[in-house]
Amino acid sequence: MATVEITGENFQETVQGDGIVVLDFWAEWCGPCQRFAPIFERVSEENPDVVFGKVDTEAQQELSAALQIQSIPTVMMFRDGLMLARESGLQSGKAINDLIARAKELDMDEARRQIEALRQGGAQ
């Protein structure tokens, strides 16, 4: 699956959908980002059932600031609207594939129950 461009306008719609979404926060001037780009593209081709998106931090400064992106490349992974992982620095294809495999195995109903329990505990 080809990667999609993520902007402030389509971010929420993209990450709130069903399934797994992997985002690459990058900039053209960033050397590690340039080295990571073909890895990210290859992993996207290996996982056609996953949405892969790229966020140009220069063009999407407001979105990057809202998500507190402080170093690039940064990879964020969501499943069914929940952020499951956030990794900064140059990642290997194996590391990204491992994150995806763990996300696929995750019991999302149990994850939501745990998050709600944490919220309830924090509200007291």
Tell me the per-residue pLDDT of 75-118, one tens digit each, with 9 for 90 and over.
999 999 999 999 999 999 999 999 999 999 988 888 888 888 88
Check 20, 33, 55, 69 and give the catalytic one: 33
- Residues 12-26 as b or e (16 or more Cβ within 10 Å = b): eebbeeeebbbbbbb
User: How far, in whole angstroms, is CA 53 from its chain's centroid?
Assistant: 8
Check 4, 27, 30, 90 and give the catalytic one: 30
Annotated catalytic residue 56? no
Domains and CATH numbers, the chain: 4-123 (3.40.30.10)
Tell me, what's the pLDDT at 117?
87
Long-range contacts of 7-10 (CB under 8 A, 24+ apart): 7/55, 7/59, 7/60, 7/63, 8/60, 8/62, 8/63
Annotated catalytic residue 33? yes
**21-46 per-position pLDDT tens digit:** 999 999 999 999 999 999 999 999 99
Amino acid at 23: L
pTM of the predicted structure, to 2 decimals: 0.90
